[in-house]
Amino acid sequence: MTGMSATRRYVGLSAALVFAVITGVLVYQGRTPPPTAAAVAASGPSSSAPRTPAAPARKATNLPMRKLKPGEKAPQLIIFSFDGAGDHEKWQEFMAAAKPTDSRFNGFLTGTYLLTDENKAKYTGPGHAAGKSSVGFGGTAADLKTRINDLNTAYAAGHEIGLHYNGHFCAGAEPSAAAWSTADWTDEIGQFLGFLKNYRANNPEAKNLPALKVPASSIKGGRTPCLEGQWDQLVPAWKKAGLSYDSSMNAPTSGISWPEQVDGIWEFYMPYVYSPGFDGMVVNMDYNMWVKFNGGANDASSAPVLRDKVYQTYKSLFDATWNGNRAPLLIANHFNTWNGNSFNPSVLKFMTNYCGRKDVHCTTYSDAIAWMKLQDPKVLAALQAQPAVAAEKP
């Protein structure tokens, strides 16, 4: 992307972000996700580290790595992601659903979930007091042990672990991520990686913890809290940490398009799409659908209706990409039970019904990037030049 083109797109991006904030369409996450807005502080530097454990034997990519011929249709990629990634039951549920088709997904881990509640003061979020977090910490030593085992199992199965940063400070819990500087983001990322490496030293009371076999070098991208953050402040911090992709920015135009590199970072935009289920436009993420449905009110009695709307949205977006530009379809969610568990059943149903179909691959962000980098530049450019799909009501 040229500098001029990038500038034009990010002027649009800034407007999209302002619109999202004004309309209250923000995204929240967590082990125990709060339906209310805002966040509160976070905490902790990394401790002196034991030797990083060797990575476990890990399943190879499930995505066939081959070059397309000019004019050949791309395979349909579906990329599932879950912000927070701290809940044991949800890890087990989605790994079980993915296994029959050898499908893969992404868990964007909240770093504070690698600190027990007892050790919360080891995290200090930018501009906040030590020991504060809008989404809590890792619970007990037993909870931490279970979480490490879940992360190890997921990583070995070929799922990707990414970062959802730490304290999840959004608008209303100032200074929120929207106001952070490059130095703030660098500190936040550094603390996340420190929690990953130094989980034993940071939790000395937690005896006999298993080795955490997710290497820090495998962390290549993630999603910011509530989709907040200024691009020009984020990019230098990402590059310093060796990150290569992001999936936080609101798309500068409506619909689903192919990802592209912006300032050297692969950006998988959060798409603003037409949904027949909601009979209107919505950011394709669970929290945003909930706000679209009933303003984020927790009404369990409406769960069957919302589940159907969510599934119909996924189905229509698949049809649009499959029959159109074949751009990767992002299914962005949280490990949650919002509105009477309105979202997990729909995601599970979609994963079960669509992953494993011929020429459909449910894969990770990093594997999707590897596939795109393998393509002839002219072939990839042709894919990226296709018009967006699901950009308006048919």
Q: What is the pLDDT of residues 64-123, one digit of tens each?
A: 999 999 999 999 999 999 999 999 999 999 999 999 999 999 999 999 999 999 999 999
In a domain, 5, yes or no: no
Tell me the pLDDT of the chain averaged across its residues. 89
Cβ neighbourhood burial of 104 (10 Å; 0-12, 13-18, 19+): buried
In a domain, 19, yes or no: no
At residue 54 the predicted structure's pLDDT band, cuts being 50, 70 and 90, is low
The rounded percent of the chain whose pLDDT value lies above 70 is: 86
Terminal-to-terminal C-alpha distance of the chain: 29
Q: For residues 347 and 86, is the Cβ–Cβ distance under 8 A?
A: no
In a domain, 20, yes or no: no
In a domain, 363, yes or no: yes
At residue 5 the predicted structure's pLDDT band, cuts being 50, 70 and 90, is very low
Kindly report the pTM of this predicted structure. Answer: 0.87
In a domain, 227, yes or no: yes
Residue-wise pLDDT tens digits, 226-285: 999 999 999 999 999 999 999 999 999 999 999 999 999 999 999 999 999 999 999 999
Residue 276, C-beta contacts closer than 8 angstroms, at least 6 positions apart? 312, 313, 316
Task: Specify the DSSP class assigned to residue 330.
Answer: E
In a domain, 13, yes or no: no
What is the spatial distance between Cα 29 and Cα 34, in angstroms, rounded to a whole number?
7
Average pLDDT over residues 172-180: 98
Count of domains for the chain = 1
pLDDT given for residue 121 in this prediction: 99
What is the spatial distance between Cα 334 and Cα 324, in angstroms, rounded to a whole number?
28
Residue-wise pLDDT tens digits, 306-337: 999 999 999 999 999 999 999 999 999 999 99
CA 393 from centre of chain: 27
Task: State how far the alpha carbon of 145 is from the alpha carbons of 44, 150, 172, 199, 210, in Å.
Answer: 19, 9, 33, 10, 7
In a domain, 62, yes or no: no
What is the spatial distance between Cα 353 and Cα 175, in angstroms, rounded to a whole number?
42
Pairing of strands 360-362, 76-84: parallel
What is the spatial distance between Cα 91 and Cα 296, in angstroms, rounded to a whole number?
24
- Domain containing 349 — which CATH number? 3.20.20.370
| Helix 88-98 vs helix 344-354: crossing angle, to nearest 10 | 20
How many CB atoms lie under 10 A from the CB of residue 264?
9
Q: Check pLDDT > 60 for residue 46.
A: no
In a domain, 29, yes or no: no
Q: Which residues form the domain of 199?
A: 74-384
Tokens of 257: 């398009």
